Structure 1
Amino acid sequence: MTPAINVAKKHKIDYVVHEYAHDPAHPSYGTEAAEKLGLPENRVFKTLVVSLADNSLAVGVVPVCSKLTMKRIAKALGVKKAAMADGADVERATGYVLGGVSPLGQKKRLKTVIDFSAKDHATIFVSAGRRGLQIELSPVDLQKLVGGTFADIC
């Protein structure tokens, strides 16, 4: 079990874990997950960590077919500026390796914004804490578990 799965289990939410054989040569972790699980890319969400002006970190959860907009996530977080975080900082703060960063069970709980499009689906897929492992859950359950908000950040 990963920390992400343990969080879902501890809070007794409905979830399903999906595993697939990860190909290290694949250029996109999120796209690979969608392809290997036979899912539309708008149901698989990637976890992106951003750095804020005060040197804190925050998380944007967006569909793999979309691009996180820095101005929009900054606005959603009530700050002036956001930029993609350094990979080493991401791994240190979350406890996960890049490509396996989950919004759930992070070592340090980061402010989290989930793209509003997640609410279009009964369930979405996010990393379960390692490459080749996804957890399917309701977007509302995800929002509650991470203490996050929904906003248009793509």
Structure 2
Amino acid sequence: MKQKDEKTNVMRILEQKKIPYTPHFYEESGGPEGDREYGLHVAQALGQDARQVFKTLVARGASKSIYVYEVPVAENLDLKKAAKAVGEKSIELVHVAEINSVTGYIRGGCSPVGMKKQFPTVFHQTVLEFETVYISAGKIGAQVELPPDALLQLTRAKTADIIFEG
């Protein structure tokens, strides 16, 4: 049975910074098949608008620098646009096996808040269209809902058009 009151590191950081948030918990369903399907599953499990639920993608630039990208769960990161947003020639997603050593999180529970280091972070520009958005609370089965302006300030993130246009 899930502990509804167990705090994640993300929740502790938000409280420490006095950022209001609402925790949301969901039953985990066997893990990420594909990030897109998994993200949509989470949005549906919580009755959320998929455009308001952001997934965390970690990438490495041609310069070997690490970058964090936040895109709506139903969307795919456009690597060219993402590279341009951070001034890199090119970027590629970090291999799943490296996610933990780079961020301190596991795949499916990666959050832009509370990584081992503060990496340059870019949210898809639609983040500003909502009063609140959802991100991972740092573990599978938990999310936090919070105002995007507070989230952008906390992660020192910028916004850009970083998704594929259908």
**Which residue is 1:144 aligned to?**
153
| Residue 52 of structure 2: aligned partner | 43
Indicate which of 100, 105, 123 corresponds to 1:91: 100
The structure with the largest alpha-carbon Rg is 2
Residue of structure 1 equivalent to 2:114:
105
User: Is contact 1:127–1:133 with CA below 8 Å preserved after alignment?
Assistant: yes
Q: Where do 4+ consecutive residues of structure 1 move more than 6 Å?
A: none
- What residue ranges of structure 1 are gaps of 5+ in the alignment? none
Matched residue, 2:82: 73
Read off the aligned partner of 2:53 and give its amino acid letter: V
Q: Residue 19 of structure 1 corresponds to which residue in structure 2?
A: 25
User: Out of 127, 139, 142, which is 1:133 matched to?
Assistant: 142
Deviation by residue 1:89-141 (Cα, 9 ceiling, x = unmatched): 22112111000000100112111000000111000000000111001011111
Q: What is the RMSD of the two structures over their aligned residues, measured on CA atoms?
A: 1.2
Count of matched residue pairs: 154
The gaps in structure 2 that reach 5 residues or longer are: 1-6
Percentage of pairs with the same residue: 37
Structure 1 window deviating more from structure 2 (79-88 vs 96-105): it is 79-88
Match of 2:3 in 1: none
Flag the 1:25–1:58 CA change in 2: closer, same or farther, 3 A: closer
User: Which of residues 53, 68, 82 is equivalent to 1:59?
Assistant: 68
User: Where is the strand percentage greater, Structure 1 or Structure 2?
Assistant: 1
Shift of 1:25: 5.3
Structure 1 CA distance, aligned partners of 2:155 and 2:61?
A: 19
Q: CA deviation at 1:88?
A: 2.5
Aligned partner of 1:120: which letter?
E
CA distance in 2, matches of 1:101, 1:146: 14
* Distance in structure 2 (CA, Å) of the matches to 1:104 and 1:74: 21
| Conservation of the 8 A alpha-carbon contact between 2:31 and 2:38 | no
1:19, 1:132 within 8 Å by CA — same for their partners in 2?
yes
User: Residue 162 of structure 2 aligns with which residue?
Assistant: 153
Opposite residue 19 of structure 1, the aligned amino acid is F
Contact 1:26–1:32 (8 Å) recurs in 2: no
